[in-house]
Structure 1
Amino acid sequence: MTTATSTIAQPRLRLRTPEDILAGTPYLFGFHPSDSIVALGVRGRRLRFHLRDDLRDQCEDLDTLAEGYADMFHRQHVDHVVLIGYGPPGRVEPLLLATAAAMRRQGVAVHEMLWAHEGRYRSLVCDSACCGPAEGVPYDVTASAIAATATLIGMVALPDRATLVDSLAAPTGAALDTAERAARDAQARLARSADTPADGLAALDTALRRTRAGGRLTDEEVAWIAFLIHSLPLRDEAWMRIDRDGEPDLEVHERLWTDVLRRCAPTFAAPAAMLVSYAAWRSGNGVRSRIAAERALDADADYSAAKLMTEILDRGLSPQSLPPIVRRDRRPAPARRRVARRRKR
């Protein structure tokens, strides 16, 4: 099947053919899309920005929706996009064609446009009979070398978005009882603490060190850091460390705060959820970032940092478009030192 697609280099995957793209896309988002439109923005030969949205009913203004997608990718300064529509042809093709036309009006080239449904795909940029039958060409993402490579390097593709949402869900049943009991103990401990900033910094250091070593916090430690992280100086210290440590450690930070989010009392989940959202966004996983931001707002509808993350995601800002919170060559002052300076003032 001859197509116009060039090689897309993702930091850990190289997608050359339509089959590669279809096999790799679930790992980019963390789940297998269905009834979705997907756009992959490429600059040079590297993936710079990607988007997934639910298919819309035909009664909606598809042109307005398509213009919104095109404007978002135009702001990312990508050279070209690959569009994929997952779902029945009658639902997929109108939105794909409208989006492609909008992209071209914005000066963004469309190098490939794929329809995929029930194990078959077809290119919509190829009119030749050699491009395959109208009903599509069979494909199997599980048999792809791309899927094997992604799995080998630790990337995950869950069955659907609902499963991804569940992966960041609050504890239930006996786990919820444990979390709430630990939260009560943490409250009592906090009341006895003589130096909360020092306790917070020590808890953060311990949590990151143990997570890097492949360990997990105890239930009591989860509740304690979930409580302490409500302090803005400590929350900001954890936030800045995500940037200071950089790409090699993004997975460590995301794993730590995901564990805290999954195991802490839901009432106190907002800061941990926001940190998961930020780390996921910095690593390029916008879908996971949005789910985590929604978890933060479920816990505290007025949590300003979660609102900031939602605005970043709504505007389609990529990590490359915003500088880190702190320069990586400068360590932020320890929380207790910053608090001491404020007290002197």
Structure 2
Amino acid sequence: MSDPTSEPTPSTFRLDQVTPVTLNQPGDLIAAVPHLLCYYPTDALVVNVVGGTIEVTLCFTLPTDALSRSLIDQTVAAAARHPGAVVRGIVVGGGEPVEDLLPHAILVTRIQDALAEHDVPLHMFWTEAITAGARWRSYENPSYTGTVPDPKTSMLAVTSTVQGRRTFDSREDLAAVLRPDPQETLARRAALVDQLVDRGGRSRSVGESYRLVMQYVKRTGERAQALSDSDIAALAVALSDKRVRDACIATAAGEHAQAAERLWTELARQCPTPECAEPAALLATSAYLRGDGVLAALALDRAEAAWPGHHFVGLLRAALDSRMPPSTLRLLVDDAVAEVERMELEEPE
């Protein structure tokens, strides 16, 4: 590892293409972690691959020895995709230091050795918790220490809020956002979906169905009331046309991106199986494109449970597992935008 007492190289995180947030000190980076992950991790190892910006953020539950190899392999693979990058990691919790021996020092040494084989520099720090005033220390030199600034008032917290990103108290709280509605409620909506299909609900043109979905997207930003069962059924039927779903990918790049993501989140939870797979896939796409890999993974879990073997979901899972840069996935958005421009010229039947 490099000398931790030297002036640290600033890390820059971008919430979008125009909003850089520079993190100059280890404490700044630690305070930023909840906003990078969208939740506050505990007893975890957080790995940041830093190039010109923070390219990748990974979070692992602190492992047993049996799980360490997979964690190390994933860290090395993520760093290898960004030549010239530096890895800056944080162990959160995991016990108390014993004099100068920090928790999970053996794991940190193993990660260091693995990255050294690929000439990747490593800076590792420990903190008891990601809270204001918590002490952090360097693994290279435990006397190099400081305190964590308040994560809730940092520049990244403010910018995250402006961008519509919510930071949860735990991963479990984040996962609850996609917890399916009660089974009896979903069964009632499934019956409504069947009724709509029987009455020709899938006979609308692609353009008509797309415009219907977009009406709901545009109202979502101001809507205070929950969607009704009939609303959910109508949207489920519209999105069941893969051409409509593919066109809705375009919302991830437009002015309605936040409203669309909120609607996909609602529908992923509220639609019956298998129809919920489509909004869950749209949510995964939107989250992935803005760098929220945790929410993207949770949305894909929901989609895969609802529709095993779903082709588009499988492609997204492969992209996520291979740590494909969001910029590569943006080609999907460009294609969707072009398709929407074509469809919106169609006259309704």
> When the two structures are superposed, what TM-score results if normalisation uses the length of structure 2?
0.81
Q: After the TM superposition, list the runs of 4 or more consecutive aligned residues in structure 1 that deviate by more than 6 angstroms.
A: none
Letter in 2 for 1:334: M
1:89-108 deviation digits (Å, cap 9, x = unpaired): 56532222322332232233
Deviates more, 1:87-96 or 1:261-270: 87-96
* Alignment match, 1:231: 241
Match of 2:80 among 74, 79, 90: 74
- Take 2:322 and 2:125, find their aligned partners in 1: how far apart are those partners? 25
Q: Is the 8 A contact 2:41 2:170 kept in 1?
A: yes
Give, in angstroms, the shift of residue 330 of structure 1. 3.0
Give, in angstroms, the shift of residue 204 of structure 1. 1.7
Q: Structure 1: state its 5+ residue gaps.
A: 341-345
1:45-93 deviation digits (Å, cap 9, x = unpaired): x222211122210244x35642331122211335222111123256532
Identity %: 21
Match of 1:26 among 34, 41, 47: 34
- Take 2:38 and 2:181, find their aligned partners in 1: how far apart are those partners? 21
* SS of structure 2 residue aligned to 1:277: helix
Letter in 1 for 2:267: V
- Take 1:162 and 1:279, find their aligned partners in 2: how far apart are those partners? 21
1:261 and 2:261 aligned: no
- Take 1:143 and 1:181, find their aligned partners in 2: how far apart are those partners? 41
Give, in angstroms, the shift of residue 317 of structure 1. 1.3
Once the two structures are superposed, the pairs formed by residues 71-220 of structure 1 within 5 Å of their partners are: 71-77=77-83, 79-88=85-94, 92-110=104-122, 112-118=123-129, 119-126=134-141, 129=143, 131-132=144-145, 137-139=146-148, 141-142=150-151, 144-146=153-155, 149-150=158-159, 152-153=161-162, 154-172=164-182, 177-193=184-200, 195-198=203-206, 199-213=208-222, 217-220=227-230
Deviates more, 1:23-32 or 1:149-158: 149-158
Number of residue-to-residue matches in the alignment: 323
Letter in 2 for 1:122: R
Cα pair distance change 1:217/1:38, threshold 3 Å: same
Cα pair distance change 1:147/1:278, threshold 3 Å: closer
- Take 2:9 and 2:223, find their aligned partners in 1: how far apart are those partners? 38
Cα pair distance change 1:159/1:101, threshold 3 Å: same
* Alignment match, 1:53: 60
1:11-37 deviation digits (Å, cap 9, x = unpaired): 253322222111111011111112221
* Alignment match, 2:304: 297
- Take 1:259 and 1:320, find their aligned partners in 2: how far apart are those partners? 26
Deviates more, 1:291-300 or 1:85-94: 85-94
Q: Is the 8 A contact 2:281 2:300 kept in 1?
A: yes
Q: Is the 8 A contact 1:92 1:115 kept in 2?
A: no
* Alignment match, 1:288: 295
Cα pair distance change 1:192/1:67, threshold 3 Å: closer
Cα pair distance change 1:31/1:148, threshold 3 Å: closer
Letter in 1 for 2:94: P
The structure carrying a bigger helix percent of its residues is 1
Cα pair distance change 1:283/1:152, threshold 3 Å: closer
- Take 1:183 and 1:335, find their aligned partners in 2: how far apart are those partners? 30
* SS of structure 1 residue aligned to 2:136: strand
Give, in angstroms, the shift of residue 268 of structure 1. 2.6
* SS of structure 2 residue aligned to 1:330: helix
Cα pair distance change 1:24/1:3, threshold 3 Å: farther
Letter in 2 for 1:222: I
- Take 2:223 and 2:93, find their aligned partners in 1: how far apart are those partners? 40
* SS of structure 2 residue aligned to 1:5: coil
- Take 1:169 and 1:263, find their aligned partners in 2: how far apart are those partners? 9
- Take 1:228 and 1:65, find their aligned partners in 2: how far apart are those partners? 41
Letter in 2 for 1:200: S
Structural RMSD (CA): 3.0
Cα pair distance change 1:263/1:17, threshold 3 Å: same
Q: Structure 2: state its 5+ residue gaps.
A: 96-101
Deviates more, 1:210-219 or 1:314-323: 210-219
